[in-house]
A = this chain, B = another copy of it.
Amino acid sequence: MLSHTERTQIRKAAHKAVQEPQALYDIIDESLMAHVAICDAHGPVVIPMLAWRVDEYVYIHGANNSRLIRHLKQAEQSCLTFTLFDGWVLARSAFHHSAHYRSALVFGPFETVEDNAEKDRVLNHFVEQIAPGRTQDVRLGNDKELTATSVLRMPLTEASVKISNGPVHDDRADLAVPAWAGFIPYRTVVGPLKAAADLHESVPTPDYSAAYGSRWVK
Q: Looking at the assembled complex, report how far the CB atom of A193 sits from the nearest CB atom of chain B, in whole angstroms.
A: 6
**Does B103 contact A44, Cβ atoms closer than 8 Å?**
no
Q: Does A113 contact B (CB under 8 A)?
A: no
Instruction: Note all chain B residues with C-beta closer than 8 A to A135.
Output: 94
Name A residues whose Cβ lies closer than 8 Å to a Cβ of B: 6-7, 11-12, 33, 35-39, 42-48, 50, 63, 66-67, 75-81, 83, 85, 87-88, 90-95, 97, 99, 101, 103, 105, 107, 123-124, 127, 130-131, 134-135, 137-142, 145, 149, 167-168, 174-175, 177-199, 203-206, 208
**What 14 new A-B contacts, CB under 8 Å, besides A35-B46, A37-B39, A94-B124?**
A7-B45, A37-B44, A44-B44, A46-B81, A48-B81, A95-B141, A95-B145, A139-B174, A168-B198, A179-B203, A181-B203, A184-B194, A185-B191, A187-B188
5 closest Cβ pairs, A-B complex: A43-B77, A39-B39, A37-B37, A37-B44, A46-B81
Can you name 20 A-B pairs with beta carbons within 8 Å?
A37-B37, A37-B44, A39-B44, A43-B76, A43-B78, A43-B107, A44-B44, A45-B105, A47-B105, A93-B145, A94-B138, A94-B140, A95-B142, A137-B179, A138-B179, A167-B196, A182-B194, A187-B189, A187-B190, A188-B188
